[in-house]
Structure 1
């Protein structure tokens, strides 16, 4: 079976920036956009031009700075929004307008005080108006996760007739379970006339910690695009994490999927986004957290030292990290201690290692982590280091 390409739509600069306290200026946005293009992102959602003059300027400048990736601007299903988005994108080599409206009963009733028929009418008009500015128009059915499938299919069929080239099926509130979301995508693939003519996209939020799982089930069931952010940042609990969905695809060839992402650049762009936004990456974050390739348990350390694949399914070099980290704690064993001493230039025989290890445990019980400097202090306490502190690759013997 031929592998299917999944397009990566990055919305770090739009949905990702909606995190409270996470404000990017135009210079920072352009810098990140260029790195996203280097990363291999297919579509960069540059901002929401009608939201502020600064966002309009950012979309305008990114449009001038990016050559290969599609540059996308968000709008509501409002002519003024759409026109501003089109104007901001006028210098983009590959522009896309992303417009849409809520389709769930909750949104129709409480947000718009409207009717299903009126929502379809607005959806059609917004897509047709956007087509005046760009050929590539993406329609989002906001809160599609809670929209009845039959009505959602009707909306999709209508906007396809109106000229939509991409349809986004957002799980806006992170409500869906993976199987439910996957079935929703499959239902649309099987029941919407001319669905094969457009790209079907996932856009999942992480309110229940299921954003990546839902996106995965979406593409397994026929979606061809994933909307995601670097480090999974975004509204409330965040969005699908780009690094997670990309590495799931890379590490599971049986899915018969691929992306254009240069995964070796993942770590560096994760750090860039974290620095620019001020949003620290949690230590245990998959792929990009500082603990993602760190080992402190003696059993795990011993296995990794013998063969990395015993406890790592991803080669750290594949995401731009030089090597795994062996962290020395009270849970570390002799193998890890010997490994770290060897890194410092000391090879200990078994008797020396036993002696040093007993001293090491006394230190480790009082600290969260033992540093290289402390390892040298431990050697001094064991009386093994008096003339060897500056030696390299020496074998230390107990006499």
Structure 2
């Protein structure tokens, strides 16, 4: 039964509520990024990664630029324990990368964790225990003091074992289920752990505030983080970290607001893949910074390749509308969007614009390894003239006059609608070819030659009804002469309304494309021609336009009958 009355808010406001973070405009400096793909991300997979896949994922994260990587829960499974030993024993951890391992505040798990990290160059030991009111009451059936003592005992043991184990260790503590924990109580636990670990500015401790289950709006989380930030002990010796989940779909907002509120470090995953509804997507966070002109300190210049490797390693498909990385995030099908994008791209080229400000596309797709020709504008029955014209120009160099572009848009939309599919660039060109280059239902051009000298008199041969007909015409120029010959033969009149031509390449051997529009009682009929000789291209275009006019007149006569 869909009954909202069975729910009530499950979060706690800080004792003193402030909103200083609201005064900040955007995230200008990259936080320390910590990938938890090998732990939190792996826990989300129906089929967890095996050792080889985990090693490949670790290398992918290193290549992207992560300096802190949580590699797993070594006490949880043999595979995760082996991963730690493989990385350490084979010297696979770069000098500038710190791995992190997570452990519950339970003695046997802490001891197993230190067995796994024996001899590590640098590692963060991440200690946590659940602190929420609902878990204290329902799961542990313990008081606040008893739960706090679990954290203190764990912190003591972690410190002792770190002193006895070969390796360079730093510590992290998380009050798990923080959103359901009284904020001042969570702060008290964190400060009690800090008292055990005694951090210094040269040997900092990480206090990580997880949105284990997102149950409040982002501004509430930001205010909670601001309270922690302002009231932590040893503040100059603590890195304040956040770990947003996405239960309400606000993980990105939680993270960005949390950084504005004082957090200096963010834990998350690529593409937001994590247990239940997922972790915050670090790609989205980093690219949001990038889109504002700030260096995120992570390299997503080949995001397509990253996504494909990630999907292969995790057997998880990234949604086609996933911000920045989905297949269709730079793609416009809507006609009005396509028209604006096409004009924006043309404006950039014509005005040599340095800063990116193309309508509907927040970042340059090329920056993340995407392609204008295949990614930006794609054509289906929702598309319009702008998109069709863009596809022809970017893929084939064909620049259509405005009104012809409109007619071509309708022709393409009709084909897409009838086929109920998206059209490729090749299929769009085929529509153009069939409608405006090879359209000869009534006659075809067989031959023509101009009388020597003037170039204003022409002898023209056409094929119609299986016969070859010769005709003669003269005019102010070569095209006018051919036009007059056709007018005399077909006994109708029209005006040469539009005539445009351009090269399809930059060298002298490139073919030319001509477009001609002839008007008859207010209607324009279009033809196009492609040939290495511009005069020939123009003649072919005129022949198609006249065929289209004759087609319209025949249809009108049929209606009259």
Match of 2:411 in 1: 359
Structure 1 residues not aligned, in runs of 5+: none
TM-score (norm 2): 0.66
Equivalent position SS for 1:310: coil
Q: Which moved more, 1:344-353 or 1:167-176?
A: 344-353
Structure 2 residues not aligned, in runs of 5+: 1-23, 163-167, 200-204, 346-357, 440-444, 446-503, 516-526, 528-541, 543-561
Counterpart check, 1:171 vs 2:208: no
Match of 2:475 in 1: none
Counterpart check, 1:245 vs 2:285: yes
Counterpart check, 1:300 vs 2:337: yes
Q: 1:317 aligns with which of 350, 366, 371?
A: 366
What is the alpha-carbon distance in structure 2 between the residues aligned to residue 385 and residue 70 of structure 1? 65
* Aligned 8 A contact 1:243 1:266 in 2: no
Match of 2:513 in 1: 395
Match of 1:143 in 2: 177
* Aligned 8 A contact 1:12 1:45 in 2: yes
For the structure 1 residues 303 and 358, does the alpha-carbon distance in structure 2 shift closer, same or farther, using more than 3 Å as the test? closer
Match of 2:487 in 1: none
**Structure 1 residue 222, shift from structure 2 partner:** 0.3
Match of 2:101 in 1: 73
TM-score (norm 1): 0.92
Equivalent position SS for 2:301: helix
Alignment of 1:192-207 (within 5 A): 192-207=232-247
For the structure 1 residues 343 and 201, does the alpha-carbon distance in structure 2 shift closer, same or farther, using more than 3 Å as the test? same
* Aligned 8 A contact 1:348 1:396 in 2: no
Match of 2:466 in 1: none
Q: What's the C-alpha RMSD, in Å, of the aligned pairs?
A: 2.6
What is the alpha-carbon distance in structure 1 between the residues aligned to residue 87 and residue 260 of structure 2? 32
Match of 1:60 in 2: 85
Match of 2:191 in 1: 157
Q: 2:394 aligns with which of 327, 343, 354?
A: 343
Equivalent position SS for 2:184: helix
Higher-RCO chain (CA-CA 8 Å, sequence separation at least 6): 1
Q: Deviations over 1:37-78 (max 9, x none)?
A: 121112111111111101111233234422122111111111
Equivalent position SS for 2:100: strand
* Aligned 8 A contact 2:287 2:296 in 1: no
* Aligned 8 A contact 1:185 1:218 in 2: yes
For the structure 1 residues 360 and 115, does the alpha-carbon distance in structure 2 shift closer, same or farther, using more than 3 Å as the test? same
Match of 1:82 in 2: 110
What is the alpha-carbon distance in structure 2 between the residues aligned to residue 322 and residue 83 of structure 1? 51
Larger radius of gyration: 2
**Structure 1 residue 20, shift from structure 2 partner:** 4.2
What is the alpha-carbon distance in structure 1 between the residues aligned to residue 295 and residue 109 of structure 2? 34
**Structure 1 residue 278, shift from structure 2 partner:** 1.3
What is the alpha-carbon distance in structure 2 between the residues aligned to residue 346 and residue 355 of structure 1? 18
**Structure 1 residue 3, shift from structure 2 partner:** 5.6
Q: 1:186 aligns with which of 226, 236, 240?
A: 226
Equivalent position SS for 1:54: helix
**Structure 1 residue 383, shift from structure 2 partner:** 4.9
Q: Deviations over 1:197-232 (max 9, x none)?
A: 111111111111011111111111001111110010
Equivalent position SS for 2:325: coil
What number of residue pairs does the alignment pair up? 396
What is the alpha-carbon distance in structure 2 between the residues aligned to residue 325 and residue 6 of structure 1? 31
What is the alpha-carbon distance in structure 2 between the residues aligned to residue 16 and residue 267 of structure 1? 19
What is the alpha-carbon distance in structure 2 between the residues aligned to residue 330 and residue 183 of structure 1? 47
Equivalent position SS for 1:202: strand
**Structure 1 residue 355, shift from structure 2 partner:** 4.5
